[in-house]
């Protein structure tokens, strides 16, 4: 049986992502893996996390990496936009992982590997298969998947979470951290605060099984 493994927000915690994959062991040819975005910023090793995702993409046939708001902020930073905001919300830690002084105006072409830039610039914001709909932040009720706005896909919180709208399949999302996965009739939230000292979680469908690895209380970013 084909399964889908959806992985919540890693935020630069490469070691937790490695440990999680060692536990879940997806089938490289049959299973689908969906990374729900926000794999950079705030944590200790954003560069190493991207390196690991690139390795996984070579290993697993069906490996989907979605864009989160933090990946979008890095893309904006690379384009010269909202640079102070990026640094404020965890970008300093990302630049440091690349050996870049956050206070300097370093040319990204000198520090960002081409394969990292290629990954970041080619991230979809939405994925759907027979098991569910996968997105970083959420969906706008009553709007077709093809018409969803980037603002909702990457940034929404309560307006989506509190909605009772049925999209026809479970909507699996990250972005908003919970102490434990949020499981409702129409949505499943699996950001369990890895970078805040919580855990990194994976949802396996259609089993509706959760596998998590604990950060053991080690907190890299203050929980807001």
Q: Which of the four pLDDT bands, split at 50, 70 and 90, describes residue 26? A: very high
What CATH number corresponds to the domain at position 34? 3.60.21.10
Domain for residue 56, yes or no?
Answer: yes
User: CA-to-CA distance for 136 and 8, rounded, in angstroms?
Assistant: 9
Question: Of the listed 70, 116, 131, 136, which one is catalytic?
Answer: 70
Domain for residue 129, yes or no?
Answer: yes
Task: Give the domain extent around 73.
Answer: 4-214
Domain count for the chain: 1
User: CA-to-CA distance for 43 and 62, rounded, in angstroms?
Assistant: 26
Rounded to the nearest integer, the mean pLDDT of the chain is: 96
Q: Which of the four pLDDT bands, split at 50, 70 and 90, describes residue 107? A: confident
Domain for residue 137, yes or no?
Answer: yes
Domain for residue 221, yes or no?
Answer: no
User: CA-to-CA distance for 94 and 43, rounded, in angstroms?
Assistant: 8
User: CA-to-CA distance for 27 and 24, rounded, in angstroms?
Assistant: 9
Domain for residue 220, yes or no?
Answer: no
Summarize pLDDT for 160-181 with one digit per residue, the tens: 999 999 999 999 999 999 999 9
Is residue 221's pLDDT more than 90?
no
Domain for residue 224, yes or no?
Answer: no
Report percent pLDDT > 90 for the chain: 92
Domain for residue 18, yes or no?
Answer: yes
Active site residue 70: yes
| pLDDT for the residue numbered 224 | 59
Report percent pLDDT > 70 for the chain: 100
Domain for residue 89, yes or no?
Answer: yes
Find the helix or strand (DSSP H, E) in which 128 lies: strand 126-129
- Interhelix angle 46-59/14-24, nearest 10 degrees: 30
């Amino acid at each position: 049986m084909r399964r889908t493994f959806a992985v919540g927000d890693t935020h630069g915690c490469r070691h937790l992502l490695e440990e999680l994959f060692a536990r879940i062991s997806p089938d490289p040819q049959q299973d689908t893996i969906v990374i729900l975005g926000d794999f950079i910023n705030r944590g200790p090793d954003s560069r190493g996390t991207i390196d690991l995702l690139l390795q996984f993409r070579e290993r697993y046939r069906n490996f989907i990496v979605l864009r989160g708001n933090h990946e979008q902020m890095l893309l904006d930073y690379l384009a010269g936009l909202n640079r102070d905001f990026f640094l404020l919300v965890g970008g300093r830690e990302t630049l440091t992982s690349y050996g870049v002084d956050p206070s300097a105006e370093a040319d990204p072409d000198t520090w960002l590997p081409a394969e990292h830039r290629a990954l970041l610039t080619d991230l979809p914001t939405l994925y759907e298969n027979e098991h569910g709909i996968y997105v970083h932040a959420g969906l706008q009720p009553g709007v077709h998947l093809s018409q969803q706005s980037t603002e909702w896909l990457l940034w929404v919180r309560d307006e989506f979470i509190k909605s009772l709208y049925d999209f026809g399949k479970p909507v699996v999302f990250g972005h908003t951290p919970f102490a434990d996965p949020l499981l409702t009739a129409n949505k499943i939230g699996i950001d369990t605060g890895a970078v805040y000292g919580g855990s990194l979680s994976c949802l396996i469908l259609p089993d509706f099984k959760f596998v998590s690895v604990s950060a053991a209380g080690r907190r890299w970013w203050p929980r807001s």
